[in-house]
């Protein structure tokens, strides 16, 4: 999928965990999930697609859809926001 790293590692595991567990990032993930609810209502796939489009600026592919919708079903859509906001594609410009 497109979420795989495309660059050499320049961050440490502690930096990555700090960002992933950041109160700021978690709040932004909650805001993102709330915004998506206004667009997709009860349709989880539509909500996840909106979140991918807003954060990554592109539609999600089939593999990403399966993974992210499954994640949302199992752990909540806020976790999809956390994953997207911590993805290399979102964090780093190429």
Picking from 5-9, 14-18, 42-46, 73-77, which range would have the lowest pLDDT averaged per residue?
5-9
CA distance 57 to 4: 16
List the structure tokens of 91: 């964090």
Q: Which two tokens stand for residue 17?
A: 């965990």
Contact 71, 52 (CB under 8 A): no
Please, is 28 exposed, middle or buried when counting C-beta atoms within 10 Å of its C-beta (0-12, 13-18, 19+)? Answer: middle
**pLDDT score at 92:** 75
Q: What's the mean pLDDT when you consider all of the chain?
A: 86
Contact call for residues 50 and 36 (beta carbons, < 8 A): yes
Q: How confident is the model at residue 7 (pLDDT cuts 50, 70, 90)?
A: low
């Amino acid at each position: 999928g497109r979420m795989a790293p495309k660059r050499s590692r320049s961050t440490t595991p502690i930096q990555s965990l700090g960002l992933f567990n950041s109160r700021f990032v978690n709040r932004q993930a909650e805001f993102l999930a709330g915004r998506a609810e206004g667009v997709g209502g009860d349709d989880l796939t539509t909500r996840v697609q909106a979140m991918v489009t807003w954060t990554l600026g592109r539609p999600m592919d089939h593999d990403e859809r399966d993974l992210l919708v499954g994640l949302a079903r199992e752990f909540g859509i806020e976790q999809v926001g956390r994953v997207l906001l911590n993805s290399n594609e979102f964090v780093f410009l190429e």
